[in-house]
Structure 1
């Protein structure tokens, strides 16, 4: 009897509190994910849904028309991601280091001004920058002409070699505030005792950042990197708002998100194919899953060994 009385009781209140969140998450995330994977194994034959196994994936990677579009979109997506990694995140880290300086005046104002674009709508940002960079009614030519650099202007969104890089930099401008704020919070969490000890040893300024602060915020940088990877490979809105679903000129700004949209829902003369669209979405999911696993089991484990 005593053993029975002392046995742990099942905590029903935990189930009650977790159930709404689990149900909502299952309805909007888990079920659509598995349903998308399921659809990728079917095809429409004579207006009937037929199980075809991996045939859709074979078409996606083996058929010349589909594979050319997929690899073009994947290559553009990689370039989109690399610009964010090499431009957005270093700038965010630099801004956080500057804004965390105790002697900087109006730091709160600067933080707010840099972070404000992140809360703007993709449609507003895409349309506004399309107007700014327009060679007909945009203000970019006039601004460059005012500083004597008019010869450098080009219709960047209208040239295949510049369009994707231009939109990537627009995205960097919009979202640089996110890594800035995350690194800023990480810098503020560094104990003052460590910085004071470094000052006693004569390590100050940039030397203190490289030798003391940067190693301590590496876990935060790792998290920002994987968040950047996931967000960039899920990107769609800015490209669609600025260049449309065709992601022109000549698909030079086409990424996996716009390729998926055209395939799944159809656009202009292209009919929608939910099954091929599901195959593309499944490929995107596997790419993102591979990147996240590489980070979790590779980079993060090394960071933990480095810390301890």
Structure 2
């Protein structure tokens, strides 16, 4: 017989218990510093006291010539750094994944490992090593080009304003091309064999099969790689700092938001650190990344879902 009392759903306390450590650590490391940075950007220091300034720091960053020139230069350089990765790293990663996923390719595991190894190297090692390789005094790049009769093409790429940032972007591509390669490789392996067999029955093979069948099916993975590339590039700092220093030379031609933030917040050489303006730059970086991720989630990802199987 019914007791007349609805059966109460037990409270699943174990879910909160298991989630609590991760939530607490993430909050302490990410959430609290984020809100602290946003709060610091709304204040300014007057006579060694923090005074609420509202959005005056943002106005100064965008409009004051002392700050705006450096900021817009760093923002453009960061954008170009991202474009290099999108135009070179991701297409090359897709191509490598397509080649390495071919069933007739021998030693594919060795090739995947060799290409992925640079991603686990330290930024300091990569920046310093490539700086030595490209050095016109003791680098091996001139001799290697001379061996193939192309020494006349060599120039101190890291020492010229028009080439330095592109060179560092390509070095970053060399280091991280293994990540999109592995993600796309995993996406290609997840395609059901029945789909590929049906395509072969219809006479679609080789490159045509990849272009017409496989590529549309891995578009969601390509979208994820693109947004990860965007977030990583607009958080970049280590490679530029290790190769060109905090001044991001020559003549700030490799200066990006990360190095601009570092000099502003901590100070460098004769420049005194300004935590409030540094927090303002960090806040702008956060809003840029947040905007890009939101555009992907709400405008792009919803359209890519139809390609999932």
TM-score range, shorter chain: over 0.9
Residue 303 of structure 1 deviates from its aligned partner by 1.4
Which structure 2 segments of 5+ residues have no match?
Answer: none
Match of 1:31 in 2: 32
> Is 1:237 paired with 2:238?
yes
Residue 96 of structure 1 deviates from its aligned partner by 0.2
> Is 1:222 paired with 2:207?
no
What does 1:187-266 correspond to in 2, within 5 Å? 187-266=188-267
Q: Supply the distance in 2 between the matched residues of 1:2 and 1:8 (Cα, whole angstroms).
A: 16
What does 1:1-308 correspond to in 2, within 5 Å? 2=3, 4=5, 6-305=7-306
Q: Deviations over 1:199-220 (max 9, x none)?
A: 0000000000000000000000
Q: Supply the distance in 2 between the matched residues of 1:124 and 1:116 (Cα, whole angstroms).
A: 13
SS in structure 2 opposite 1:44? Answer: strand
Residue 6 of structure 1 deviates from its aligned partner by 1.7
SS in structure 2 opposite 1:148? Answer: coil
Distance 1:203 1:44, change over 3 A: same
Q: Supply the distance in 2 between the matched residues of 1:232 and 1:307 (Cα, whole angstroms).
A: 27
Distance 1:70 1:23, change over 3 A: same
Residue 301 of structure 1 deviates from its aligned partner by 1.4
SS in structure 2 opposite 1:43? Answer: strand
Residue 295 of structure 1 deviates from its aligned partner by 0.6
Q: Deviations over 1:15-36 (max 9, x none)?
A: 1111010000000000000000
Q: Deviations over 1:148-190 (max 9, x none)?
A: 1010000000000000000000000000000000000000000
Q: What RMSD in Å do the two structures reach over aligned CA positions?
A: 1.1
Residue 304 of structure 1 deviates from its aligned partner by 2.3
After TM superposition, the score normalised by the length of structure 1 is 0.98
Q: Supply the distance in 1 between the matched residues of 2:37 and 2:195 (Cα, whole angstroms).
A: 50
Distance 1:47 1:191, change over 3 A: same
Once structures 1 and 2 are overlaid, which stretch shifts more, 289-298 or 184-193?
A: 289-298
Q: Deviations over 1:33-56 (max 9, x none)?
A: 000000000111001111111111
Which structure 1 segments of 5+ residues have no match?
Answer: none
Distance 1:3 1:306, change over 3 A: farther
Q: Supply the distance in 2 between the matched residues of 1:38 and 1:218 (Cα, whole angstroms).
A: 39
Q: Supply the distance in 2 between the matched residues of 1:40 and 1:33 (Cα, whole angstroms).
A: 11
Q: Supply the distance in 2 between the matched residues of 1:2 and 1:241 (Cα, whole angstroms).
A: 73
Residue 249 of structure 1 deviates from its aligned partner by 0.1
SS in structure 2 opposite 1:6? Answer: coil
Once structures 1 and 2 are overlaid, which stretch shifts more, 95-104 or 2-11?
A: 2-11
Q: Supply the distance in 2 between the matched residues of 1:148 and 1:273 (Cα, whole angstroms).
A: 51
